[in-house]
């Protein structure tokens, strides 16, 4: 099957990528995308590389990496420049206007879809790609799948024929809206391990992730933790923090890609919290990333956590900020217990939660909905 996988990266991480590689924007499209994949930002090429292992034909596109998209347009005879367009002002008067950067990138993405004609249009960026865009490329794909585990966009997404989510409560929501939906968990890419240095455990406690906003409840726990322990914090959204937040003193800026994985690897303990909309369900990427690199994961207790890991033996779960601080103190003082649980957590992830296994699950879901 032909899969076209659409995702977006944080704009800050895109800037970071091109800052790290001066002149990259002048390189051929395939080279820019190779460098992006090797940077390990987001899910990188984890979906496409494992679908390819399974014998499928995938292509991953990041529509908001503007330099790469413009380069593809140049290489494929698509106008990369913003165009002048006409609209009717007050429904009568022809009015010229220049298309926005977003409209230009949509136009390039449309050309890519029409060129590739995938069986499956798989979108992990439903906040950007809504029903209006899908209708504009209708007929150039067989099945449109959206993936979400975040606050839903304001625009219409009903054109997606299937919604996947790692959050059971979001699966229930989609189904109540009359949409087909299935549970589909996240995972870990084991090939990352060969790119990490075994430099020892440099940090007692590390946190990498979003601050404030949709992570408000978890940020409160992190604040209390920063008052009691030496926590190193890397994350975006620091401007959301109160002026007196103790996180500010621990904050070391955002962290992306391979550098993020190295930080997780170098921590004795990785603190995790879920986005507020997760409610009582565990689902996020940090569950698999922290365990996958071999560090002890201390995460918020959720009713379904046991379906992925065994609390107390493979990960540590807390119910209150006070319990979180106590558990962290205990496992900082008991090295052998901490390391044994971290090893067990890593073994579970490498045994059951890899992206190769996830792509096998995805193919089974797709075949069910395509009737193949």
Rounded (10°) angle between helices 321-333 and 216-228 = 50
Check residue 212 and report its DSSP letter. Answer: B
Rounded (10°) angle between helices 335-352 and 321-333 = 110
Quote the pLDDT of residue 36: 96
Q: Give dist(CA 106, CA 108) in Å, integer.
A: 5
Strand ranges of the sheet holding 316-318, from the earlier edge strand across to the other edge: 231-236, 203-210, 267-271, 296-300, 316-318
Q: Give dist(CA 174, CA 3) in Å, integer.
A: 23
As a whole-number percent, the residues of the chain with pLDDT over 90 amount to: 87
Convert the pLDDT of each residue in 85-129 to its tens digit.
Answer: 555 565 555 555 455 667 888 999 999 999 999 999 999 999 999
Convert the pLDDT of each residue in 252-301 to its tens digit.
Answer: 999 999 999 999 999 999 999 999 999 999 999 999 999 999 999 999 99
Convert the pLDDT of each residue in 191-205 to its tens digit.
Answer: 999 999 987 899 999
Query: Helices marked H in 55-122 — which ranges?
Result: 66-75, 101-116
Q: How confident is the model at residue 333 (pLDDT cuts 50, 70, 90)?
A: very high
> Strands 120-123 and 143-147, how do they pair?
parallel
Convert the pLDDT of each residue in 207-263 to its tens digit.
Answer: 999 998 899 999 999 999 999 988 999 999 999 899 999 999 999 999 999 999 999
- Of 258, 256, 257, 250, nearest to 206 by C-alpha is 250
The pTM for the full model equals 0.92
Going along the chain from its start, the domains and CATH numbers come out as: 2-187+355-370 (3.40.50), 190-352 (3.40.50.2000)
**Residue 148 CB partners (closer than 8 Å, separation 6+):** 124, 126, 163, 164, 165, 170
Convert the pLDDT of each residue in 140-185 to its tens digit.
Answer: 999 999 999 999 999 999 999 999 999 999 999 999 999 999 999 9
Q: Give dist(CA 300, CA 224) in Å, integer.
A: 14
């Amino acid at each position: 099957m032909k899969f076209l996988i659409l995702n977006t990266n944080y704009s800050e991480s895109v800037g970071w990528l091109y800052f790290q590689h001066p002149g990259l924007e002048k390189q051929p499209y395939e080279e820019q995308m190779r460098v992006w994949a090797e940077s390990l930002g987001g899910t990188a090429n984890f979906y496409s590389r494992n679908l390819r292992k399974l014998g499928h034909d995938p292509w991953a596109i990041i529509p908001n990496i503007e330099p790469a998209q413009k380069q593809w347009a140049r290489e494929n005879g698509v106008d990369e420049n913003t165009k002048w367009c006409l609209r009717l002002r007050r429904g009568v008067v022809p009015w010229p206007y220049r298309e926005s950067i977003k409209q230009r990138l949509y136009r390039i993405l449309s050309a890519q879809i029409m060129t590739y004609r995938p069986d499956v249009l798989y979108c992990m960026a439903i906040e950007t790609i809504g029903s209006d865009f899908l209708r504009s490329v209708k007929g150039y794909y067989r099945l449109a799948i959206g993936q979400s585990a975040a606050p839903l966009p304001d625009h219409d997404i009903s054109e997606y024929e299937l919604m996947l989510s790692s959050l059971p409560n979001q699966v229930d929501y989609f189904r109540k809206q009359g949409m087909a939906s299935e549970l589909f968990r996240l995972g870990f890419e084991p090939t990352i391990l060969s790119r990490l240095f075994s430099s020892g455990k440099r940090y007692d406690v590390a946190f990498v992730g979003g601050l404030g906003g949709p992570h408000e409840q978890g940020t409160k726990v992190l604040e209390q933790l920063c008052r009691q322990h030496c926590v190193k914090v890397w994350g975006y959204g620091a401007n959301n923090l109160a002026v007196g937040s103790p996180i500010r003193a621990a904050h070391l800026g955002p962290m992306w890609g391979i550098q993020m994985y190295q930080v997780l690897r170098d921590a004795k303990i990785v603190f995790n919290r879920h986005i507020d909309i997760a409610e009582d369900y565990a689902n996020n990427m940090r569950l698999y990333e922290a365990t996958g690199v071999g560090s002890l994961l201390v995460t918020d207790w959720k009713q379904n956590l046991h379906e992925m890991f065994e609390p107390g033996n493979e990960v540590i779960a807390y119910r209150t900020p006070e319990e979180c601080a106590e558990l962290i103190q205990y496992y900082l003082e008991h090295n052998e217990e901490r390391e044994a649980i971290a090893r067990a957590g890593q073994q579970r992830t490498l045994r059951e939660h890899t992206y190769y296994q996830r792509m096998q699950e995805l193919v089974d879901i797709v075949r069910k909905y395509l009737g193949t």
